Every structure is written in C-alpha cells, then in structure tokens.
Amino acid sequence: MAKTGEPQGDTARAMEEKAEGRLRELFEKMPYPASIFLFTDEGQNEPFNQAAREVLHILHRVSPKIQIKEYDLGHEQARKWKIQSSPTLLFDPDRCKARWLGAPIGEETKTLIIALQMLGYRTTGLSEDSRKILKKITSPRHIKVFVSPTCPYCPQQAVNALNAAFERPDLISLEIIDIQVNPDLAQKYGAQSVPQVFANEKLIAMGAQPEELFMSSLEKMEEQRIYIPESDAAELETDLVIVGGGPAGLTAGIYAARSGLKAVIVEKGVLGGQIATTPVVENYPGITQVGGKALVDIMVEHALQYSTIFPGEEVMEIQPGDPILVTTNRRRFKTRAVLLATGARYRNLGALGEARLSGHGVSYCSTCDGPLFSGKKVIIVGGGDSAVTEALNLRNINVDVTLVHRRDGLRAQEHLIKSLQSNNIPILFNTEVEEIRGEQQVKDVLLSDNQTGHKRTMKVDGVFVAIGYDPEVGLAKKLGVELTPDGYIKHDSRHRTNIHGIYAAGDVEGGYKQIVIAAGKGSEAALAIFEDLINPYWKKSVKGMGEELIAESS
Ligand SMILES: Cc1cc2nc3c(=O)[nH]c(=O)nc-3n(C[C@H](O)[C@H](O)[C@H](O)COP(=O)(O)OP(=O)(O)OC[C@H]3O[C@@H](n4cnc5c(N)ncnc54)[C@H](O)[C@@H]3O)c2cc1C
C-alpha cells in the first residue's frame, strides 16, 4: 500500500521535471550563451555560497547555454572587477554592468532567469515608452536595489533595474543586494523594507513600481507616482477587462474565457493580491497547507491558460460608454465590460512617526521584511488572524516579537491563538501605540494602556502593522461607482454596479474576506457578465444595479 507521503513526493518531482523542461525550452531558443561569474570566499557566508552554486549548476545542467565560471575572492578576476563580498554574481561584464550581492534563491530565482534571458537574447522586453525615458538619461546612474528572497514584490523591481542596466550599459550600473546576506549594507542605507532602490546613493523608490514609473524615477532621480502614457499608446479590443489579479480577478479570468469571452487581467502590483504575502494558507479546499505564494503560482498558471495577464500595469482611468475605454499606464483597451476586482489594501495605524519611518523599521509585510529583523526585537500591532499569523511567522524566523492589541482579547481563530500561546509570544492587551520614534530608523515606541492611561517606552527595532484592510475603491470612486456606507462597492446579486457595464467582485464588495469566497465571487461575476453580454434582450440603457432586465423589444 502506498504511504501517504509518496504521491506528494511524486507530484513534487513531476512539477520539478515540468519546470526544468520549460526552462530547457526557453534557454535552448536563446541565440547566444548567457555567462555568469560567481565569486565566493569559503570563510564568508558559506551557506549562501553553496546555495548560489547549486542554483547556477542546476541551470547549467538544464542548458549548457548557461555558462558559469567560479572564482575565489583572491583571484585576479575578483581584483579586476573589484569584487569584495561573497557570494557575488557578475553578469557578463562585456555586455552590462550588473552584479548580484547574495544568492538568487526563493523569489529571486525568477529575477535570475529573466536576467539570463536578457543575456541570451541580447535584448530587454522594455516598452517603447520606457526606452524613450531611458534615452533621456545623460549622466551616470549607479543603482542599488535591496531585495529579499522571501519578498514577492522584489523581482518586479530588480527586473526593472536589470532592464535599465542592460538597455544603457554606457551610463547605468547596478547592484542587486540581498539583505539577508548583506545586513550591514541594509543597515547602512536604512533599507528596512524591500524592495528599495537607490540611485547615486539617493533613495528613488520604495516598493515595486510599474516599469515606466521606475524608469521615470531613475531619470528624474526622485520617486515618480504617476505616468501618463503618450497619446499613441497601444490600443487593444476585448470583451472584458478585469482590474486586479488577486483570487477574484484570476478566477474571473478563467471563467470568462471558458464561457467564450475574450478577457484580460490587469494587475498593478504583484499577481495574487493579498495572498502573495500570506505566509501560510490552511483553508483553501483541496490543499491542506500551502504557502501563499505557492498557491498564487498555481492560480496564475491556471489563469494564463485562458486569459492574457498584464502584470505591473495600473488601470488609471475608465470611461463608461459603448465601448468602455480603459486606460492603463501603458495602453488603452476598448471593452464591452469591466470587472473591478481591486481587493483591499492594508490600513495604516495613524500613530505619530508611522509615515516618516515607513520602510525604516515600520513594515506592513512580515513575509517581505521579516528576515531583516532576525535576532532583533519588534512589536506587531493587531489582534486578528493576520496579526497572529504574522507574529508566528516572525517567531519562526527568530524574531523576538511581542503582540500589541488595543482590546482585551484576540479576534483570531482558536488554533492560531493556541499556536501563539505554545510559542510563548507575549501579548500586551488594552495597549495602543501612540508614537513610533527614531531619527533614521525605529528606536522605540510610546505605548499607552487605554484602561489606566499609563504610558511607557519600549525599545524595539521594528513595528509591524496588521490592523486590517480597507477596500481599494479609488478607481471606482473616480468613475462614479456608488459605494455602501462602509465604503465597499455597492452591487446587485449579479455583481453589477450602478454604472452600465461595470461590475465588482471579491473583497472590494465587502462581506467575508477569504480566498475561496473571493474566487467564488470572481467566478459568479464572470458568468453573470457573460450572460449579460450575450443576452440580446439586455437593453443598453439598463442602469444596472437593482433594475430588472428590460427586453429591447418591449
Ligand atoms: C496577511 C493575510 C493573510 C490572509 N490569510 C488568509 C487565509 O489564510 N485564508 C483565506 O482564505 N484568506 C486569507 N486572507 C484573505 C484573502 O487573501 C483575501 O480575501 C483575498 O486575497 C481577496 O481577494 P481579491 O481578489 O478580492 O483581492 P486582493 O487579493 O486584494 O487582490 C486585488 C488586486 O487588485 C490589484 N489592483 C488594485 N487596484 C488596481 C488598479 N487600479 N489596477 C490594477 N490592479 C489593481 C491589487 O494590486 C491586488 O493585487 C488573508 C489576507 C491577508 C492580508
């Protein structure tokens, strides 16, 4: 009889073989070899040296077009290229000035694979607009991108920087810096959240950016938040534009296309939405326990079989009409319907010092920034499932964590509370954070007991905020979509909003916030949209929500 572990082992091996097969195909088509130098020093960061070596050797085994040379830090090649830390990867120095201080593991393996393709094809996939922006750069830029292998947002920003360095090797040089391998450098730059980008020693971006915004920030040497595409931006025609690539949007993409609609998914940040940063998911049917990012990968792979996904692209404007015009920061869509699956974004604490120290010890993502605080002391603020899950995640990576909650009891699931207790994570009940203090980085917090009024200072290196999420309704409001008194998108039972052709699904509609529910709403909305679009009796003038369908002939 088969042991329970065997099928899972077989599945994992089958998935590995499939992934290797795909990579082989990808690399074999490259017209040129991609060459990488690995520099190591036995006494420095040996586990990371070994990890870097293993990843590179696997890739070389997959295709001989990936050419690896390894040198000791004492070798003349190390002196020639001024390499001082171990491990360092140097991308073909004849083609570009890009190096990687650390091991390309975890999320960062993706970045490495894209870099290898840039070398092998000798081209970047940059948009015309990005190229135009880069052409405007006339003086040198030295970029430093701080990343972590556990950060799902980091590859997007690292790839942006690689694109810039590959496109303009005459003026742009790049160091990708893994904060786990180089905590001293992260400390020196005050880079306590990832990704962060410095150019010529100046902070120019925090968090992941769409491609054109990254290039504009690099050109202007300060963070840019808005990029307006030029008037001749590409225009695509489709039946349905889905705004948001979280579980609701991805599922809607599958269902819409299976119904016969041409659907596209536009995602401004990281595919998977909130799950991308969820350490562990234990309640998605059919999968007992899975890392949030692993679940995202499965969903994205599935959605890609049906819909086109435009990642790193933000929907900036929607003009209702027939057709509806959707403008992103890169192109325009003419579409018959739009599904707003924009989800929710984390809530700020509102404490003094929070905004100023965000990215310098104040964090909203333990999965991304947790490793920076290994061996250090932090508080996590909140009392629900997210706060407890993230506290357990931090403890698991050797962070000294205390939970701070303003009420006298937690609102998390029983089994999470039990784990919190069995891990001896201290909890400060009835406690509020009044101020987060520190010059360049968080040094301490001012806590107040809301029962006694007693105030005290607690020395900490970091503050993680997990106090809930607000619906992401900026775009909906701009469009004139009606909201509920709680600020969610008002919709009828078929997910229609008050604007003809505009629908909503997922967390942005309110109700229970769970992956399976968001996915369910996404599928339901896609089916409703399909029925509305094919229904010859659906009169164009129907205003949507709450109205009966009016037969055109009536
Ligand atoms: C820390 C944490 C742990 C969780 N754990 C669990 C769990 O264990 N089990 C569970 O069932 N649920 C869990 N949840 C809840 C679950 O993740 C959400 O209910 C679910 O992700 C909602 O899906 P959604 O698609 O509606 O929205 P989201 O996941 O929020 O996705 C919306 C997407 O839309 C994108 N977007 C927004 N505006 C635009 C725009 N203008 N242009 C382009 N894209 C845009 C956003 O970038 C985002 O990626 C957790 C949530 C968090 C935060």
| Residue among 156, 213, 268, 274 whose CB has most ligand 1 atoms within 8 A, to mutate | 274
As a whole number, the mean pLDDT across the chain is 91
Q: 93-97, 133-137, 546-550: which range is least confident on average?
A: 546-550
**Ligand 1 atom having least distance to the Cα of 271:** 49
SS3 call for 463: strand
538 confidence band (pLDDT: 50, 70, 90) = low
**Ligand 1 atom having least distance to the Cα of 273:** 49
Structure letter (DSSP) for residue 346: E
69 confidence band (pLDDT: 50, 70, 90) = very high
The answer on pLDDT for 474 being more than 90 is yes
For ligand 1, say whether the CB of 509 is within 6 Å of any of its atoms.
Answer: no
Residue in the block written with tokens 């949030």:
292
For ligand 1, say whether the CB of 244 is within 6 Å of any of its atoms.
Answer: yes
Predicted pLDDT of residue 367 = 84
The answer on pLDDT for 236 being more than 60 is yes
- The contacts of residue 403 (CB under 8 Å, 6+ apart) are 379, 380, 382, 383, 387, 388, 391, 420, 425, 426, 427, 428
Could you read off the pLDDT of 122-148 as tens digits, one per residue? 999 898 889 999 999 999 999 999 999
**Ligand 1 atom having least distance to the Cα of 521:** 26
Question: 112 alpha carbon to ligand 1 midpoint, in Å?
Answer: 27
* Mean of pLDDT values over 213-233: 84
Higher pLDDT among residues 109 and 2, named by residue: 109
- Of all protein residues, the one whose alpha carbon is nearest to atom 37 of ligand 1 is 342
Could you read off the pLDDT of 283-331 as tens digits, one per residue? 999 998 898 989 999 999 999 999 999 988 899 999 999 999 999 988 8
* Mean of pLDDT values over 460-478: 96
Predicted pLDDT of residue 1 = 34
To 10 degrees, the CA torsion angle through 511, 514, 516, 517?
10
- The DSSP secondary structure of 348-374, one letter per residue, reads P---BTTTTTBTTTEES-HHHHGGGGT
Question: 471 alpha carbon to ligand 1 midpoint, in Å?
Answer: 10
Could you read off the pLDDT of 4-57 as tens digits, one per residue? 334 455 666 776 788 888 899 999 999 999 999 999 999 899 999 999 999 999
By the 10 Å C-beta count (0-12 exposed, 13-18 middle, 19+ buried), 511 is classed as exposed
Q: Taking the CA atoms of 208, 211, 216 and 218 in sequence, report the sign of the dihedral they define.
A: positive
The answer on pLDDT for 553 being more than 70 is no
Predicted pLDDT of residue 410 = 96
225 confidence band (pLDDT: 50, 70, 90) = confident
372 confidence band (pLDDT: 50, 70, 90) = confident
**Ligand 1 atom having least distance to the Cα of 505:** 26
How far apart (Å, rounded) are the C-alpha atoms in residues 267 and 250? 10
How far apart (Å, rounded) are the C-alpha atoms in residues 477 and 489? 9
Predicted pLDDT of residue 539 = 52
391 — phi, psi (to 5°)?
Answer: -60, -45
Predicted pLDDT of residue 536 = 58
* Mean of pLDDT values over 94-98: 94
How far apart (Å, rounded) are the C-alpha atoms in residues 122 and 264? 29
190 confidence band (pLDDT: 50, 70, 90) = confident
Question: 469 alpha carbon to ligand 1 midpoint, in Å?
Answer: 9
**Ligand 1 atom having least distance to the Cα of 244:** 34
Which residues are part of the catalytic machinery? 365, 368-369
Structural tokens at position 422: 């069995």
How far apart (Å, rounded) are the C-alpha atoms in residues 176 and 194? 12
Predicted pLDDT of residue 424 = 96
The answer on pLDDT for 542 being more than 90 is no
- The pTM of this model reads 0.78
Could you read off the pLDDT of 484-534 as tens digits, one per residue? 999 999 999 999 999 999 999 999 999 988 999 999 999 999 999 999 998
Q: Of 344, 377, 307, give the one whose Cα is nearest residue 470.
A: 344
25 — phi, psi (to 5°)?
Answer: -60, -45
For ligand 1, say whether the CB of 380 is within 6 Å of any of its atoms.
Answer: no
For ligand 1, say whether the CB of 402 is within 6 Å of any of its atoms.
Answer: no
How far apart (Å, rounded) are the C-alpha atoms in residues 167 and 134? 8
The answer on pLDDT for 82 being more than 90 is yes
Question: 63 alpha carbon to ligand 1 midpoint, in Å?
Answer: 37
| Residue among 251, 271, 278, 365 whose CB has most ligand 1 atoms within 8 A, to mutate | 278
Q: What share of the chain in percent tops pLDDT 90?
A: 78
Could you read off the pLDDT of 332-369 as tens digits, one per residue? 999 999 999 999 999 999 999 999 999 899 999 888 88
- Of all protein residues, the one whose alpha carbon is nearest to atom 33 of ligand 1 is 244
SS3 call for 459: strand
Q: What share of the chain in percent tops pLDDT 70?
A: 93
Could you read off the pLDDT of 160-189 as tens digits, one per residue? 999 999 999 999 999 999 999 999 999 899
- Of all protein residues, the one whose alpha carbon is nearest to atom 27 of ligand 1 is 343
The answer on pLDDT for 540 being more than 60 is no
Predicted pLDDT of residue 371 = 87
